[in-house]
Amino acid sequence: MAKFEEGLRYSESHEYVRVEGEYGYIGISDYAQHALGNVVYVDMPEVDDEVTAGEEFGAVESVKAASDLISPVSGTVVEVNEALEDTPELLNEDAFANWIIKVQLSDPSELDALMDTKTYATFCEE
């Protein structure tokens, strides 16, 4: 059963963003990692790259599928989770603790277009 973490914003493509001040931590939801299965590779952008809401910024590969990562918000990448380069299966262990990229938000109003936890949980049940 997928877990849903409170206080995050979710996209229809199953990425989440955890906002802390002017920064957003972007990762895949627990629902997404369950659907993918055992993650074997994470393709991430470089620090200082720009990401755009609704646009691809990388990919997650599992033993059974590959899935593009779609940014839920726009901003500048300030950090990538380097632990995922050597240990991508961390996403399966705890998708919420193991964010993929940290961005400086360029347009915080984009968060309004994302789902809250309750809405996302309902979306996943449909």
DSSP annotation of 41: E
User: Which residues are within 8 A (CB) of 5 and not within 5 positions of it... i.e. 6 or more apart?
Assistant: 16, 30, 96, 117
Put simply, whether the predicted model's pTM sits higher than 0.85 gets the answer yes
Residue 37: what pLDDT?
Answer: 95
Residue 81: what pLDDT?
Answer: 98
Residue 1: what pLDDT?
Answer: 79
DSSP annotation of 82: T
Closest to 82 measured CA to CA, from 57, 67, 99, 70? 99
pLDDT tens for the chain, residues 1 to 126: 789 999 999 999 999 999 999 999 999 999 999 999 999 999 999 999 999 999 999 999 999 889 999 999 999 999 999 999 999 999 999 999 999 999 999 999 999 999 999 999 999 998
Spell out the domains of the chain, with CATH numbers in brackets. Answer: 11-120 (2.40.50.100)
